[in-house]
Amino acid sequence: MILDILKDRFILALTGLIDNPESYSDLIRPSQDAKFGDFQANLAMPLAKKLSKQPREVAAEIVARLKIDDLCQPPEIAGPGFINLRLRNEFLVDLLRKAIDDENRLGVTVIEPSKRKTYLVDYSGPNVAKPMHVGHVRSTVIGNAITRMLQFWGHHVITDNHLGDWGTQFGMIIYGYRNFLDRESYQKNPVEELSRVYRVVRQKTDEPDNEIAAAVLAETAKLHAGNADNLKLWNEVLPYSMDEINRIYQRFHISFDYTLGESFYHNMLGNIVDDLLKRGIARETDGAVGVFFDGEEVPMLIRKKDGAFLYGTTDLATICYRMETFKPDAILYVVDFRQSLHFEHLFKTVRLMGIENIELTHIKFGTVLSEDGKPFKTRSGDTVGLNGLLNEAEKRALEIVQSNDKLGLSQSEQLETARRIGIGAIVYADLSQNRESDYVFSYDKMLAMNGNTATYMQYAFARVRSIFVKGNIDIKELRTKTEKLMLTEPAERALALELLRFGEAIELALRDYRPNFLTAYLFELANRYSVFFEQCPVLKAANDDLKISRLLLCDLTARILQKGLELLGIETVEKM
């Protein structure tokens, strides 16, 4: 990546001039205005005081030590000491050729072996006893995008869908099954009927002065204690719920390496509590057991008075199991912001247990809102089901495809295009947000043909690809002609610079696990391409060499758009 190459050259120039030159490398950044060059180094001002010199004098000394003639035109010192850099066209063309020849990675190098890590990404994690809803979108698509980017970057990634398959919700299902089940409806559609039963019981447990809440807890305790009837019922309903959940994942083209639910760890929980008590990390208070932290009144409870375990207990057992089985360098939890205190306490407890050499990160995210600014729910007040959400997105996408179809797509092509557009719209709308912010769910906005949407990005890809159909271009043969590549116009050069920022965008997105940095890059790339296409004739270029050169830029644009969307978990369409 260009920025990394420049940083390395500046670090060499600063070596011997200051201590720890690497700490200043982030002050080398892309220029905000092309008239000042392609990159700008803002090192001189912070170093001036350290070296007891004037900023311009420091800038001149850095430039004198800098060896970048093969990359850049002579650096320019501007203002109080900015160092402006303009890359040589020959250098850009050489990098573009390498990207074109690199079929799978498009010029993005794999990180060196010494920096590769094993990541365990814990995401999605729905409660099995009820259908997935709109709230599961965020964890599912953010976790999937982070997984794909980490893998592309060169890391070893293990994914684990930590299902809620053993909690109070199953006590509700068991109680509801025995008291409110419509047997005929259950035979026809078990998941729908179990969902109805769950809602009935949940509503009744919220009512004052009723005994159902206590009965639900009793059924849950019997399940955990190994009651044969409750276990039999649990084994009966679990496959129905899992089939429904897996159908959702299939629509997103998401799969997991492991699906180890809470039930998997149940037999480990007693030992976890005993170990923490024995080591003095946890202590008993009022009959319950908790881990207390200095300066905090609220502990992390790991066993209740009645002997029941809690989420924290299961999460501790999960970490111990993962450390022993997978030996990860990092565990990432993609879970909404409401669990922030839980994870803060969980990570503190893990450190108290002596587990140090591992990154533990809570990748938190905000809430999906309706246009009234409230959590997205149905008119009846229920959380919107994810299956229905995807169906509606595909339906609306099909209406758009049919109303704008100028290519004469067959019915099957229309349906497939609508599927990709509809699912892609939901995924991109989520990932294009700052993950910690709430966002408003709007079908109209996410399916818009303009603006920062998946629909626009998919259209941009299809638009680029259509050039090759229209010009009857053999793309494989085209890619053998990179010697024709040239940058003659400002719009070509601007597009080239953006194409070569692909790896930088992925690195930035992974720095704090924020996929919106990649969506922002792809949107900017599509816009740069649009300007290029308007200002630089491609099929009607002035001569054949220029035509080939511009077709090569078009091809690389399409490939990077496609790969970038793929890393986000979004499919492209050839015709649109």
With vertex at residue 246, the alpha carbon angle to CA 243 and CA 252, rounded to the nearest 5 degrees, is 150
Does residue 493 fall inside a structural domain?
Answer: yes
**Same structural domain for residues 401 and 527?**
yes
- Predicted pLDDT at 378: 55
Q: Are residues 45 and 171 in the same domain?
A: no
Domain annotation covers residue 439? yes
| Residue 171 and residue 83 share a domain | no
- The tokens for 311 are 């989420």
Instruction: For residue 204, give both structure tokens.
Output: 């009744």
Burial 331-370 (b: 16+ CB within 10 A, else e): bbbbbbeeeeebbebbbbbbeebeeeebebbbbbbbbbbe
Pair 491, 535: CB distance under 8 Å: yes
Element housing 522 (H / E): helix 516-535
Would you say residue 562 lies in a domain?
A: yes
Question: Distance between CA atoms of 148 and 145, rounded to whole angstroms?
Answer: 5
- Would you say residue 66 lies in a domain? yes
69/184 same-domain check: no
Contacts (Cβ under 8 Å, ≥6 apart) of 556: 96, 99, 100, 106, 499
Q: Would residue 423 count as lying in a domain?
A: yes
pLDDT per position as a tens digit, 260-294 = 999 999 999 999 999 999 999 999 999 999 999 99
Clarify whether residues 192 and 77 are in a common domain: no
360 occurs within a structural domain: no
Domain-embedded: residue 511: yes
Same domain, 70 and 179: no
**Domain shared by 82 and 182, yes or no:** no
Please name the residues in contact with 37: beta carbons below 8 A apart, sequence gap of 6 or more. 31, 76, 84, 85, 86
Residues spanned by the domain of 76: 2-87
CATH number of the domain to which 58 belongs: 3.30.1360.70
Query: Whose CA is closest to 129, among 263, 24, 13?
Result: 263
Residues 181 and 71 in one domain: no
Residue 102 lies in a domain: no
Specify whether the CB–CB gap between 454 and 429 falls below 8 A: yes
Are 83 and 172 contained in the same domain? no
Write out pLDDT tens, residues 210-240.
Answer: 789 999 989 999 999 899 999 999 999 999 9
29, 52, 87 — which closes off a domain?
Answer: 87
58 and 185 together in one domain: no
Task: Tell me, yes or no, whether 416 and 534 share the same domain.
Answer: yes
Asked if residue 189 and residue 55 are part of one domain, the reply reads no
Per the structure, the count of domains in the chain is: 3
In the listed set 38, 67, 87, which residue is the last one of a domain according to the structure? 87
Q: Which of residues 47, 71, 87 is at a domain's end?
A: 87
The pLDDT profile of the chain, 576 residues, written as one tens digit per residue, is 899 999 999 999 999 888 889 999 999 999 988 888 999 999 999 999 888 899 999 999 999 999 999 999 999 999 999 999 999 999 999 999 999 999 999 999 999 999 999 999 999 999 887 788 888 999 999 999 999 999 999 999 999 999 999 988 899 999 999 999 999 999 999 988 998 999 899 888 888 777 899 999 899 999 998 999 999 999 999 999 999 899 999 999 999 999 999 999 999 999 999 999 999 999 999 999 999 999 898 999 999 998 889 999 999 999 999 999 999 999 999 999 999 999 999 999 999 999 999 999 999 999 999 888 888 775 555 667 898 899 999 999 999 999 887 778 899 999 999 999 999 999 999 999 999 999 999 999 999 988 999 999 999 999 999 999 999 999 999 999 999 999 999 999 999 999 999 999 999 999 999 999 999 999 999 999 999 999 999 999 999 999 999 999 999 999 999 999 999 999 999 988
CA distance 423 to 550: 32
